[in-house]
Structures are given as structure tokens and as C-alpha cells.
Amino acid sequence: MLDLLTLETTWVTLLKTLLLLGFILISCHAITNYLLLSHIPGPTLYALTKWRLAFDDYAGTRTRTIHALHQIYSPIVRIGPNEISFSSLSALKTIYGAGSGFERTSFYRMFDVYGEQNLFTFASVKAHSERKKLLASSYSKSSILKFSTQAVSQKVCEFMELLEREPEVGSEIFGSLHYYALDNITDFLYGRFGKTEALPEDVDRRMIGDILDPRRRKLAWFACHLPRYTKFLLSKTGWAEKVVSTLGLLPQAKPTVYTGIRNHALKSWLYFSRSSEKGEKPSGNTIVEKLWESHVSQTERGGLTDMEIASEAADHLLAGVDTTSDTLMFLIWALSLPENFQYQEKLILEVRAMSVSDLDDRGIPTTEATDKLEYLDAVLKETLRLYAPLPASEPRSLPVESFVDGVKVPAKTIVSMNPYTLHRNLDVFRDPLVFNPERWLGDPKEVAEMKKWFWAFSSGGRMCIGIHLAMVEMTILTAAIYRKYRTKVKKGTEDVSPGITSRFEVFYDETKPRVKEHECCIDFMEERKG
């Protein structure tokens, strides 16, 4: 009996000792981290634990909080035990400029598709560069011009037809613009092997149903801060899934966000792959064809596997829907507000002054013509400045010690910047919260300075590869709409801002007292001739 008591006491003592050692090690690590960045100003609680910023993520206030901290402290502020946020032009060049060496952090792994990395999630500069080489020619401006001549113009035509055929569907522009962006990107990626028909038909519209669920923000939070726990929960099937779901443990009910799009992307790739194996020769210059050219068996070095190609194409599909549609929604909404009618009228004058030679045989403005419209370009720039589709932090790190803005940054420290803060710099943008396209048509020196701070598409080697496609989709549709219609927000919603989901947050126009997430209703008023 004495031996058992002695043994029990020994185990209890050992357990207490291990717990104490663990606490000491964690404390020492926390103290070390705290001291390493003690020269960086910022709130003490953020410096002590990463969970303070994680709480802002959960509350959906991260980006606005960081912006506020920059106003209180300086262009350099500590936002975590191992994380610094910057907001200067010099830091932008150092961290994100070409050849900077800064790599993406593990944060981006939450965007892996089918368990495979892709262009967006690669950390190393080398891996990203090698993959980008396979795709760069397809996303070049000349290639996009060829694609837009028929494909994008056709989608614009179908959107205009939707406004007439199903005015209730078309006028809710959060949804209808998602259909427009979806049809464009699927055609560009897969061609006949996976292009959708969400604009002319209602079947493919169901694909984005899971995007509308506001709980997608909660899922993003869990995937970022508790990745193993989230993966474990979402992997449950059968009775285990029922138990997990009944207990309310799932961050978002299945199907989770982008499930429909990912399923469609995989089916499209399999259809293409099987057709290619049978010797069917695809027509066109789609992204899957470019990736297929590099495809070799898994045993050979240098080629992409089936799932790597599927992941890459699916990631481009995910990236090409929300960003384009959200920007277009804010553009139309902003022009439709009573206080901005003056800008809408000037845009209408410009697009309606286009000659017959600026239109295709269906009356849709051509890419070449819309590319030259200065007022349209100013409207688009101002929309992207004030309502950037990805306004949050873009984290980076270096494996070695570095200096940013003259401040020593220890190895593996996370550094970040965000478009939200850059685009609201009071010293660069007068009245930064005011939608004013004409700021981009003012004094050339001021415009040149604003362009330096304009960061809607990132910069350097990681600059958005789809910039030319997005610009073509947005300029042609905007020109087509305002050649035919005037727009205004639905009566009674003048003080309501639409809200878009980006990672953990909802972004909206903060000058409006009310927000309606994932909904925006617009009246399209056609002027009948005669």
C-alpha cells in the first residue's frame, strides 16, 4: 500500500514539474519575443499575445483596428508578439518590391485547394516564380485582349439581357455580378470543358449559394487560427458528422464556402483531362491547356500532377469571382447614390459619346475603346481605392534579420501592410472617405503621388496575375450599362451600404449608418428614344 502511495505521489510530482517547466518555457518564449520587438511602439496586450489580434479577427475589426493603431502610434506599429504593421511608401517598396526576398507566411496555406499548394499559397519566391512562368503569357494584356474580343463581350451582352429578362434578379447586383464574374472566369479557365451559364440560366447560379452565408467569416477564422481543429471537424462523415453538427461545433454548416465552386472546378478538370487522354484536341487558349502542357507523369521531375493542376485552376476560379464582382457592385452603388449623380452624369456623357467604330456588331463597347476612356478609368480607380476587394493585411517574412524603414526586424518576424490604410492616407488623399473620381483627373503631381500609394492589386512579383482580365471585365460592362441606363439606389436605402466578405471581415462604406451584407438593389432606368 505504501509503495502505491509513493508511486502515485511520484507521478503527481513529476506531472507538476512538467507543467511548471512547460509554463516556464512558454513564459521565456513570450518574454524573448516581447523583448526582441520592444523597440516597436504598440499596445502592450498585442505585444504579449497573438490572441489579442485574433480577437479582432473574430470580431471582424482587424483591418480597422490596425488602421486606428497607425493613427495613434506611427507608420510602424507592433500588432503581435512577432508581427509588425507598416504604412509607409518606403516600407512598401522594401517588403513587396521586386526582388525584396520577403516570402509569404503560413497564413496563406488556408487557401490550398484539394490539399495542394498553388500560385497564391506558395511561400518561396522560387516556387512562385516557376509556377507563374507557366501562366504569365495567358494573363498578358495581349492574350486578354484576344479573349475579351468575343468571350467577355458575350458575357456583357448576356448581363444586359438579364436586366431586361429578369429585372428582379439583375437589379440585385451582388448576386447578378457574381454570375457575370463566374461565367467569365470559368470560360477563361476551362473553355468548353467547364464554362458556366449563370447569366442566361439559373442552374449554375446555385454554385455560389454557399458564398452568401455570413458564417463563412467564422470558418475563415477557425481555418486560420485553429487549422488542425477545423480540418478535424470538417473531415468527419457519417454519424460523426451528425454528432459534430448537432453539437454546433462546425464553424460553418456544410456545404462550406466555395464547396460548389471547388466541386465544379474539379469536375471541369477531370472532364478536360479525360478528353485529352482520349486524344481530343481542345480548342482555344485556356488556363488548363497551359497547365496541361507541363503535365507529365508523377514519377518524372518538373511536371505538374493532376491534383496540382486542378488546385491551380480552382484557385484562379475562386480568386476571379468575388474580387471582380465586389468591385463592380461598389462602383455601380457609389454612382447610384444621390450625392454622386454628378459623377454618373459625366460618365454617361463620356460613354455615350463613343462612336460606332468603338462598338462591336452587338453594340457592346470594345476593349480597345474603353481602355481609352479617362473618366471611366478615374471612376474605376476611385472605386478600387475606397472599396478595394482585398483591403486587409498581406503578411510576409524573411528567414534572416532585415531592416525596414530603418528598424531592425528579427528573422522570421511577420511584417505586413494593407491597402485599407494606404488608400486612406490623409497626406496623400484629400477627404479620403469621400468617393471622388475627379481626384484622379486633378493636378498631375498630386495624381502621380496618389498612384504611388495605390495598391489595389499588390505589387512586385506577387502582383495580381489577373489584373488585365479584371480590368477588361469591369470597364466593358460599366461602359455598356451607362450607355443604356441611369442608375439609382432603391428608394429608402440611401443610408445603407452594401457589405462584402473578405476573410474574417465585412467591408462597407463607413460613412453610412447601416450595412446590408451580400445584398445591393439598384434601379436601372432606361431612357426610351422617341
Please tell me what DSSP assigns to residue 148.
Answer: I
Cβ–Cβ contacts within 10 Å for residue 496, how many? Answer: 20
CA distance 24 to 495: 54
The whole model's pTM is what?
A: 0.91
Distance CA 441, CA 234 (A): 50
Look up residue 390 and give its amino acid: L
H or E stretch covering 525: strand 522-526
Quick count: other Cβ atoms within 10 Å of Cβ 403?
9
Every domain of the chain and the residues it spans: 82-213+257-526
Residue 52 near residue 45, CB atoms below 8 Å: yes
Per-residue pLDDT of the chain (530 residues), as tens digits, is 446 556 556 666 766 667 666 656 554 545 656 668 999 999 999 999 999 999 999 999 999 999 999 999 989 999 999 999 999 999 999 999 988 999 999 999 989 999 899 999 999 999 999 999 989 999 999 999 888 888 999 999 999 999 999 999 999 999 999 999 999 999 999 999 999 999 999 889 988 888 878 788 988 999 999 998 888 888 888 888 888 788 788 888 888 888 889 999 999 999 998 887 777 766 667 899 888 887 654 445 557 888 999 999 999 999 999 999 999 999 999 999 999 999 999 999 999 999 999 999 999 999 999 999 999 999 999 999 999 999 999 999 999 999 999 999 999 999 999 999 999 999 999 999 999 999 999 999 999 999 999 999 999 989 999 999 999 999 999 999 999 999 999 999 999 999 999 988 999 999 999 999 999 999 999 976 54
**Sequence letter at residue 314:** A
β-pairing, 76-80 with 83-86? Answer: antiparallel
Contacts 24+ apart (CB under 8 A), 61-67: 61/505, 62/392, 62/393, 62/504, 62/505, 63/391, 63/392, 63/393, 63/418, 63/420, 63/421, 63/505, 63/507, 64/420, 64/510, 66/393, 66/418, 66/421, 67/418, 67/420, 67/421, 67/424
For domain 82-213+257-526, is the CATH number 3.40.190.10? no
DSSP letter for each residue of 421-482: HHTT-TTTSSSTTS--GGGGGS-HHHHHHHHHH--TT--GGGS-TTHHHHHHHHHHHHHHHH
* Known binding-site residue numbers: 464
Report the binding-site residues for heme: 464
